[in-house]
Amino acid sequence: MISKEMEKAFLEQINAELYSEYLYLSMKAYFASLNLNGFVNWMDVQVQEEHAHAMGMYDYVIERGGKVELFAIKKPECDWASPLAVFEAVLAHEEYVTSRINALMDVAEATKDRAAMIFLNWYLKEQVEEEANVGGVLAQLKMIGTDANALYALDKELAARTFVQPVIG
Largest pairwise CA distance in the chain = 56
- pTM for the complete prediction? 0.96
Is residue 136 assigned to a domain? yes
pLDDT for res 115: 98
Is residue 44 assigned to a domain? yes
Q: What's the domain range around 72?
A: 4-158
CATH number of the domain at 12, please: 1.20.1260.10
Is residue 169 assigned to a domain? no
Q: What is the pLDDT of residues 9-42, one digit of tens each?
A: 999 999 999 999 999 999 999 999 999 999 999 9
E-strand stretches of 5-137: none
Query: How many domains does one find in the chain?
Result: 1
Letter string b/e over residues 117-144, b meaning 16 or more CB atoms within 10 A of that residue's CB: bebbebbeebbeebbebbeebbebbeeb
